[in-house]
Structures are given as C-alpha cells and as structure tokens.
Amino acid sequence: MRITSKSNYALKLLVDIAEHRESGFVPLADIAERQSISKKYLEQIVPMLIKGGLLRANRGNRGGYMLDVSPDKCSIGDILRATEGCVLSFTIDPDDVFQFVWKDVQRDVEKCVDRITLQDIIQNKNGCYDYCI
C-alpha cells in the first residue's frame, strides 16, 4: 500500500484553506506559494476535491476556494476517496477465493482513516496522536 504525494498535497491545501477561512475565498496562487507546491499541479487536484464535496470554488477576480464541509466533518478517508478514487484498491479477480480478506482489510483501513479529521490535524500539528487507535 502506498500514499501518493497527491494526497499529501490535497491535505496541505485543505488545511491551508481551513486556516484562512475567515478571509473568504482563498486563491490557489497563495496556497501554492505558502505550501511551495506547483500551482499547475494543484489545479489538477482541486477538481477532485470539488467533486468529492470537500471544496467550493469561485471564479474571477477575488475568487478562490473555500471548504464545503466543516473541518471536523472532513476526514483523511474523504481526502483519499477524492484524490485516489477510493481508500484502498486492489487488482484482484472479483471471484477470487481470498477476495474477502482484502475486502476486510479495506473495511478496517477505511475505519482508521475516517477517524482522523482535518480538525484533529489542525489542532494536533505537533502530533498528539489522540485520534489513533
């Protein structure tokens, strides 16, 4: 299993927006600079987060992005589902004898990542691990 950089970028972006949510819509250029991520690459990630219901956009001058959920309702699982399609995938024949094993792993992992929210992360930037099993 592997976490891609895309998911980490999405996390950075969402936390950045969450932390600047009083100032209205946050432009991507600002995020890209603050987080030192290629703006062009972020532009590809952002539509996934919108489709996933996590972000809302406003175009034009003074536009940008805004959270579409409260930080305590946005989990790592939500981010992964948005950026990677699903939390845990496998290329295994649907009627393989051991499919049930990986399905179970999938379910368990999903529970893990759905337990950690943006809120937790913002509050525990120093790493309190309160949300862990």
Among 14, 5, 4, 1, residue whose Cα is nearest residue 78: 14
Q: Is 75 a residue that touches DNA (CB under 7 A)? A: no
Q: Is 33 a residue that touches a copy of itself (CB under 8 A)? A: no
Q: Which does 67 bind (CB under 5 to 8 A by kind): a copy of itself, DNA, none?
A: none
Torsion (CA) 113, 116, 119, 124 in degrees, nearest 10: -130
Q: Is 38 a residue that touches a copy of itself (CB under 8 A)? A: no
CA distances from 66 to 4, 9, 53, 59, 112 (A): 23, 16, 11, 12, 26
State the pairing for strand pair 55-58/64-67: antiparallel
| DSSP 8-state secondary structure symbol assigned to residue 47 | H
Query: By the 8 A CB rule, do 118 and 14 touch?
Result: yes
By CB under 8 A, name the one of 50, 57, 66, 109 that touches a copy of itself.
Answer: 109
Q: Is 94 a residue that touches a copy of itself (CB under 8 A)? A: no
By CB under 7 A, name the one of 59, 100, 125, 126 that touches DNA.
Answer: 59
d(CA 101, CA 94) in angstroms, rounded, equals: 12
Q: Which does 40 bind (CB under 5 to 8 A by kind): DNA, a copy of itself, none?
A: DNA
Q: Is 36 a residue that touches DNA (CB under 7 A)? A: no
Binding site for a copy of itself (CB under 8 A): 1-5, 8, 11-12, 15, 76, 80, 84, 87-92, 96-98, 100-102, 104-105, 107-109, 111-113, 115-116, 121, 124-125, 127, 129, 131-133
